[in-house]
Chains A and B, each alone.
Chain A
Amino acid sequence: MSELLGVWLGAFLTLCIFSFLYKDNPFFRFAESLFAGVSLGYYIGIVSTNTLVPNMIRPLTADFSGNAHLLIPLLLGLNLYTRYIPRIAWMARLSLAVYIAYYVGIFMVQKLQGEVVPQVGKTILHPIGGNFTPVDNLIMMVGVLSVLIYFYFSIEHKRAVGVVSRVGIWFLMLGFGAAFGYTVMGRISLLIGRMNYLFIDVVQITSQYL
C-alpha cells in the first residue's frame, strides 16, 4: 500500500511542478517549498551520516590520540562560526583561506597536467600527416590558436588580432551549437523518463492493487 501511496504522491508532485509551465500557482509553490525543505533536511542528514560521523566523530571517539590530527579540520570548521560574533568575525576568513588555497593548489596542477599540456601536444601536428585528414589538422590548429587569441586580454582586439579573434568566436559558436544539441537530446531523454513514470509506472503499480 505504501508503494501505491508513494507512486501517486510522486505523480502528484510531478504534475505540481509541471503546472509552472502554465503559470505560477499554489500547487507549484507547495511543491517548490516541499522540495527545498526536504532536500535541505536530507542533505544535512547525508553530510552528518556519510561525512561527519565516519570521518570525524567515530575515529575521534575510538582512538583520540591516534587521530588527534582530525582536530585541525574540526577547529577550522568550527572557526567558520566565529562570523556570528562581530568582534572576532574576521577569524572565519582564516578557514576560508585554507579551504580555497588547498583547492587552488590541487586544481592548478590537475588542469595543467590533464588539460593544458595534452591540448598543446595534440595541436602540434604535421599539416598533412597523422591520423586525421589535412582539413581536420588545419581546423584543429586554426581553432586552438584563434580561440587562444580571443581569450588574450592584454591587447585590444583590433586589426589583425581582431580578425583572428573573430575566427575564434566562430569556432566557439560552432562548438556551442554542437554542445547545445547534445544537451537538449539529454534533456529530452529526462522528459521521456518522467513521462514513462507518469504513464507506465503509475498505471502498472496502480493496476496491481486493483
Chain B
Amino acid sequence: MPETWYDPSRCGAPLVVLLVFCFFVLLFINLARRGRKLFIRRIAGIAAMEEAVGRATELGRKVLYLPGGGTLDDIQTIASLAVLRHVAGLTARYTVDLDVPNKDPLTFAATRDTVHEAYLQAGRPELFHPEMVHYVTYDQFAFSASVTGLMVRDKPAAIFLIGAFHAESLLMAETGQSVGAIQIAGTAEVTQLPFFAVVCDFTLMGEELFAAGAYLSGEPAMVGSIKGQDFTKAGLILYIIVGILLEIFGIHWFRDFMTIQ
C-alpha cells in the first residue's frame, strides 16, 4: 500500500472511535429500517413549535424561518431542513404565511424543495408559492440588515432561527424579540448559543438540534444515527470513568491511548 494512502500515526484512537461510531450508527439505522421502535426523548423546543405556528394563525401574522448562514456541508443546515419540513407542514395545515429568506445559494435550493415537499405532503400544494422561499444575499451583515428590516416591517408572530448562525445571531434575535414574536432557536455554534439562550423563548442547544431533526423527521437514517451517537457517547463516558479509576492506581494506558501527539 503506498505510504501516502496510510498514515500509521493517525490510526490510534481516532480510527478506533470512528469504527465504533460507524458500527453503532449502521446497526441502529438497520434496526430502524426493520421497524424497530427507537426511543429518543422529547425536547422542550419541539412541543413549542406547534404552539408558535398556532399563535401566528390566531394573530393572522406570518411565520419567519431562518435556516442560518451555513451551506449544505454543515450538518446544522441539514438538521435545519428537517425542522423546516415540520414547520412548513404546520404552516400548510394552519393556512398561515411562511417566509424563508436565505443567505447561502445551495441552502436556498434545498429549502425551496423542502418547503414545496412539505406543502405537497400536507395536501395543500395550492398554498405553496416559490416566493415564500427567497434569496437575499451572501454577505453576513447585509443579510442580517435585510432580515431585521423584514422583521420590523412584517412583524412575524413566530420566528425560527435554526441552523448555523454567527455574529448576526444577536442582531436578528433581538429584533425578533422587540417585535414581540415567539422565537425558537437552535444552533450548535457554541459562541452564539448564549445570545439565543438569553433572547429566545426556546433554544435547541448543540446536539439537541440534531436530535430534534431526527425526532421530527422520523427517518430511520437520522433516528439511527442519533441512537448510534448516543451509544458511542455512553462508551466514551464509561471509558473516561474507567480511565480516571486506573489513573488513581497509576495505570496510564487509557489516557495515553486517547492522547494525540
Instruction: Enumerate chain A interface residues (CB-CB to B < 8 A).
Output: 17, 20, 23-24, 28-29, 31-32, 35-40, 42-43, 80, 83, 92, 96, 99-100, 102-104, 107-109, 112-113, 116-118, 120-121, 123-127, 129, 141, 144-145, 148-149, 151-157, 172-173, 175-177, 179-180, 183, 187
Contact = CB atoms under 8 A, between A and B. Distances in A.
Interface of B: 10, 13-14, 17-18, 21, 39-41, 43, 72-75, 78, 106, 109-110, 113, 136-139, 141-143, 145-146, 148-149, 152-153, 170, 190-191, 193-195, 197-198, 205-208, 211, 226-227, 230-231, 233-234, 236-237, 239-241, 243-244, 247-248, 254-255, 257-260
A157 B146 contact: no
Nearest to A108: B18
Nearest to B226: A153
B191 A151 contact: no
Contact of B18 (A112, A127, A187): A112
B145 A36 contact: yes
Contact of B248 (A29, A123, A126, A172): A126
Given A32-B149, A148-B236, 10 more contacts: A20-B148, A24-B152, A24-B153, A35-B137, A35-B142, A39-B139, A118-B260, A123-B243, A151-B207, A153-B40
Given A148-B237, A155-B41, A29 B72 contact: no
A144 B41 CA distance: 21
10 contacts: A37-B137, A43-B138, A92-B109, A113-B14, A127-B244, A141-B240, A148-B237, A151-B207, A152-B233, A183-B191
Given A32-B149, A176-B193, A96 B106 contact: yes
Contacts, number: 169
A100 B109 contact: no
Contacts of A157: 41
B75 A177 contact: no
B40 A112 contact: no
A39 B137 contact: yes
B221 to A, nearest CB: 12
A121 B170 CA distance: 34
Nearest to A114: B260
A43 B139 contact: yes
A127 B15 CA distance: 28
B240 A100 contact: no
B77 to A, nearest CB: 9
Nearest to B150: A32
B198 A141 contact: no
B7 to A, nearest CB: 11
Contacts of B145: 17, 31-32, 35-36
Contact of B247 (A32, A42, A120, A125): A125
Contact of A117 (B17, B110, B142, B247): B17
The 7 closest A-B pairs by CB, nearest first: A39-B139, A103-B73, A121-B258, A124-B243, A176-B194, A180-B194, A39-B142
Contacts of A123: 240, 243-244
Contacts of A176: 193-194, 197
Nearest to B255: A124
Given A107-B75, A109-B18, A117-B13, A127 B106 contact: no
Given A43-B138, A116-B17, A153-B226, A100 B78 contact: yes
Given A40-B138, A176-B197, A152 B255 contact: no
Contacts of A113: 10, 14, 260
Nearest to B13: A117
Nearest to B254: A124
B105 to A, nearest CB: 9
A141 B255 CA distance: 13
A182 B136 CA distance: 30
Contact of B41 (A42, A141, A153): A153
Contacts of A83: 109, 113
